[in-house]
Structure 1
Amino acid sequence: MKIVYQAANLIDAHLVRHALEAGEIPVFLQGEALTGGMGELPLFGAILVCVPDVIWPQAKEIVDALPLNQPVEPLADDDAAPDSSQGWLPA
């Protein structure tokens, strides 16, 4: 197994996992059970997304194409949420 991504948190790890599994790549999350640990364990970066060695190049391409760790751009004024006069209300 080779590490294809070191996740900042559990959500990132599962996003990468699902993207890889959608590409029919088997995935193992190393350290997933340690996220609630105390003591000397790091709070972030403890989850490693691993794939088989022979599929690593293909998996790396998929991970590199994901929009991870990118800043979220604010909505422009014309992209604002519609008001209730359009017939529906947000949940």
Structure 2
Amino acid sequence: MQIAYRARDITEAHIVAGLLEAHGIETYVGGHYLQGAMGEIGAAGFSNVHVADEDLSRARQLVSEYESSRPATVVSGSDEDRPDFYARWFLLVLAVVGLVLLQLY
């Protein structure tokens, strides 16, 4: 098996896998357990869609059609639109609370 698509997240990997399976290409989605290692923080880049060697060229053709049909991503200048914005604040607050608790005990 070879990687036909490197997804941003597990949801996108399953969308592409469903597309390929709808066209008769058997798929395997890898990276489920790597996603869970990051908890609720949206980990990216760990999910891949694998296909059999003989289906690779057809799968990549379908994937390129899928990518060309996706709408363009809206880019905003605000930091609050970034996915890791809230995770950073959470970690900062957690560190401050930890320091306060260390000082009390």
Give TM-score, length-normalised by structure 1: 0.67
Question: For residues 52 and 19 of structure 1, do their structure 2 counterparts lie closer, same or farther at Cα, with a shift above 3 Å needed?
Answer: same
Structure (1/2) with the larger helix percentage: 2
The 5-angstrom pairing of residues 10-29 of structure 1 reads 10-29=10-29
Q: Match of 2:36, SS?
A: coil
> Comparing both chains, which one has the higher relative contact order based on Cα–Cα distances under 8 Å and sequence gaps of 6 or more?
1
TM-superposed deviation, 1:61: 0.6
User: Once the two structures are aligned, what percentage of the paired residues are identical?
Assistant: 32
- Write the letter of the residue equivalent to 1:13: A
- Write the letter of the residue equivalent to 2:34: L
Distance 2:70 2:17 in 1: 13
What number of residue pairs does the alignment pair up?
70
TM-superposed deviation, 1:11: 1.5
Distance 1:69 1:7 in 2: 16
- Write the letter of the residue equivalent to 1:17: A
1:54 corresponds in structure 2 to 54
Distance 2:11 2:58 in 1: 22
Distance 1:51 1:69 in 2: 25
**CA RMSD, Structure 1 to Structure 2 (Å):** 2.2
Query: Which of structures 1 and 2 has the bigger CA Rg?
Result: 2
